[in-house]
Structure 1
């Protein structure tokens, strides 16, 4: 395999997620590999409706700091909602195929993480891997959107040469339809255990910290506000990561005393984790969150800080004395109790944690089978 087109649910940016870690590792392992990383399309109409400045996508861009001449990104444009423009996915597929051809890719392997790329799978005919990291069929979406997601996923499950899932629950759900390969998440253990300086924008005093995207599909806003109030003068609840909450939700959090720092570069988040007194997982527990393999589980374990989590998948299943499972009023009380008892990094950061190198090797093997299959 020398060419790979990845259609991702996440952009290639400074906040690295599963796909970026895996692609980076694959590029390091194979000096002949070239990758076109397709980001979620720009949606200027949706931006305008949401009161944001419209974005209009980006052409092909090289990522020289990762793999000069071998890693390219593309952000296409979806001009109108799919309910208005039924040909949107066809046009996106053609744009991706043109971009692949323009960088010399003639018969790449297709790695689909975004189920809306089902049209690309059919039109291109490229050998395809379907990588399932979220069960969007259980997310809070309109009936029309769920119907579209279900149709796309059915096409992908039927036509993929291999299906990868990231969690045991996704393995249980999707293996009822066809064989799947479980490749969970991991962490760069060496990097997360290398001491980092305390970030200058962390507040003085004890810190209870959540690392991750603030999104209503996952984050329990009311629980965060209650926890911040419970900490009161004894500490500060800090959120680090992209903010996709509504203005009203943000106001509720800040009024309660939550400090929202926004996204930080992948190499910088390590310092926030190491210097937190307690790490938090204030997630809602739903069929959707039960499908996840939280990346933060591995990041939190790597730095060995005390953790307080709601009973979400991953955290509730692991045998780790540093993790306290609590919900409702008990959650805020557990955080308030844990803050003054916290030790300092690197205390607790010696246990085994899966490294991304293991997952890269597993994904590489699946991709090779896809490339070689008839």
Structure 2
């Protein structure tokens, strides 16, 4: 799909060169008319293709409004289930939904939120007839360079569409916390150059078949400029989003987070200069992964699987790259100052 667009551009360029090669000093050409016609047809075909993709996918994208803000969502089924980002819903139990095909506001209730993966599902109270469920693609088959489009409601501009490419796959990204919310580490993210702005969150990243390949979630921040870095956006992969959403629709909650855990509550420990030096274990779940390996309250975790963990956020980022059931070495410093490395079989992060 990405190759097709490159090929069209090459043909357009070749047509221009051919026309110029046949030009006289007065600018006339015996073959120019045919080349211009071919170029025009190619352009019209390209435009028509994009129009068809938007027409096919956009009816499955909705606007979501809560008391504290707005975002986007993707229709999962004709029962009125909609997947979006957890940060779009926040703590709201109710919201209003506006379809791209109808400006009537519809009431919805939150079924469940999964902040650890920044996903949530809401359900329309009275689903109208004709709801169009989105088609989810296999994000494992995404290719770097593949053309994609982001659809949603950026800055409240309903049913907006932007275009870019898949810049990378399998990214691990940490979302900054807000208020009482802790930072969240998200894995298997799709990086894209398609513009993603506030309000796009929870919407759709679609391929040239009009199928969902990701849920736009956040953009990179330029630390020097203090704002969004243009052309660097991230979407939760469609495989992850579909898995979590299906669990919520079926069970009313997430039953298998798929995220690794040490089964401990922790806090960041700093030295006298204020520098983070490790993660202090506040408590360890009885019979949990850490407790079974001999890690107890008061221990200081300094590394997991060979990666230093000077802070709680660093520990979260490291665990996000690992899998439940995986056995990894964990470096600890005990309260008496002695050190040890123990092997821990990771548990599964519990979801409340």
| Higher strand residue share | 2
- Higher relative CO (CA 8 A, sep ≥ 6), structure 1 or 2? 1
TM-score, length-scaled by structure 1:
0.23
Larger-Rg structure: 2
Question: Which has a greater percent of helix?
Answer: 1
Compute the TM-score of the two structures, normalised by the length of structure 2: 0.24
